[in-house]
Amino acid sequence: MEPILEVKDLTKKYAVRGKGDFSAVDHISFRLNQGETLGIVGESGSGKSTLAKLVCRLINPSEGSICLCGQDITKAKGKELRDAYQNIQMVFQDPVSSFDPRRTLGDSIGESLQNRRLANAQVKARVRELLEQCGLEAELGLRYPHQVSGGQCQRAAIARALAIQPKILICDEATSALDVTVQQQIMELLWKLRDSYGLSYLFICHNLALVQSFCHRILVMNEGKIVEEGITDEVILHPKTEYTRMLVDSILL
């Protein structure tokens, strides 16, 4: 099977005054298949979010390559990069700050549709449909981000990501700012979307219980490198490296 996403030797270096270059992401390679969920775990500062931003081309890599749906997007710009965003979208940790506070949720969800020059009536109908698919009443599309709960705002963020029917969703700690009950509701929504649309996920999360229940495979990151990878249950239940054992033990304590 051809992977829907293939990353090879991806590296992001930053210059540190007096210390030379620092690699936040250091020669990382992996594949993601259609309908697969790949978990990415590691301590804070291990490079998980930097990796997500690189894959989604929110920041530029220093080295390596990113192949999305058979197209090399490593150096894509302008229209080529905009076309790539039709296949990959990101859901962030803080849903409120990911929205423009001056626009209603409905306007933000429909922005990508408007950019594709759909008629206003089509945009409004699609926004209503997306809100309902994500468990929200259409009326919430008239509200501003600060006027809804964190869980409702995250559902709206997922609806916005789905607007252009991407093949991959990158979830960067998308449930960590939510209480346990709402967190479970968002996970159920992600399950439903994967089953309904065959979505692939990069699921970045510090909660190993969620990762174990949701992800097919897992990458363990430390200091910008992949230190262990494999089938999720095998990695969590039978870790091979000291770092992974420490990570699992710290969660279970």
Closest Cα to residue 8, out of 26, 35, 24, 30? 30
CB 89 within 8 A of CB 158: no
Give the integer Cα–Cα distance in Å for 106 and 49: 27
Q: What is the pLDDT of residue 115?
A: 81
Give the integer Cα–Cα distance in Å for 133 and 197: 12
Give the integer Cα–Cα distance in Å for 38 and 198: 14
Q: What is the dihedral of CA 160, 216, 70, 47, to 10 degrees?
A: 70
Structure tokens at 222: 């430390």
Strand, coil or helix: 187: helix
Residue with tokens 């979830």: 171
Alpha-carbon Rg of the chain, whole angstroms?
18
Side-chain half-sphere of 40: how many Cα atoms within 13 Å?
30
pLDDT tens for the chain, 253 residues long, are 689 999 999 999 998 877 778 999 999 999 999 999 999 999 989 999 999 999 999 999 999 999 999 999 999 999 899 888 889 999 988 889 889 999 999 999 998 888 887 888 999 999 999 999 999 999 999 999 999 999 999 999 999 999 989 999 999 998 887 888 888 889 999 999 998 888 999 999 988 889 999 999 999 999 999 999 999 999 999 999 999 999 998 865 4
Locate the domains of the chain by residue range. 5-87+168-252, 99-165
Provide the 10 A C-beta neighbour count for residue 64.
Answer: 18
- Name the CATH architecture for the domain at 5-87+168-252: 3-Layer(aba) Sandwich (3.40)
Q: What is the pLDDT of residue 252?
A: 57
The CA-atom distances, in angstroms, between 1 and each of 203, 231, 233 are: 21, 17, 23
Q: What is the pLDDT of residue 129?
A: 94
Q: What is the pLDDT of residue 235?
A: 95
Strand, coil or helix: 161: helix
Q: Any idea what the Cα angle at residue 211 is, between residues 180 and 247, rounded to 5°?
A: 100
Give the integer Cα–Cα distance in Å for 72 and 198: 22
Residue 161 buriedness (CB in 10 A; 0-12 / 13-18 / 19+):
buried
Closest Cα to residue 91, out of 187, 227, 221? 187
Structure tokens at 213: 């229940």
Give the integer Cα–Cα distance in Å for 79 and 44: 34
Provide the 10 A C-beta neighbour count for residue 11.
Answer: 17
Q: What is the pLDDT of residue 117?
A: 78
Closest Cα to residue 90, out of 142, 147, 21, 164? 164
Neighbouring-strand partners of residue 229: 219
